[in-house]
Amino acid sequence: MIKSVRMKISGRVQHVGYRYFAIKEAGKYQVNGWVKNEPDGSVLVEAEAEEQNLDFFILSLKKGPGWARVDQLNIQPIPFVGYKGFGVKY
């Protein structure tokens, strides 16, 4: 079953390669959606995938790339959009 979520990730998640890490991990787990830096220093992600793949993707985002520090990751379910691929949103 495909799940769709919006995640807000807070901590040291900008200027550490977090968005590009998210793209790499999305490819690994066949996740579709987007990632975006927010003005408040957080990162916003919308993601859709099979439930197990999405769970693995979320675990990866909780760790982040080497220079990142994830203090908080909030998840909320959203309606299915039908994204094709995964990229950076500006």
Residues identified as active-site: 19, 37
Lookup: tokens for 54: 């999405």
Side chain identity, residue 64? G
Measured distance CA(26)–CA(88) in Å, rounded? 12
Q: What SS3 class is residue 81?
A: coil
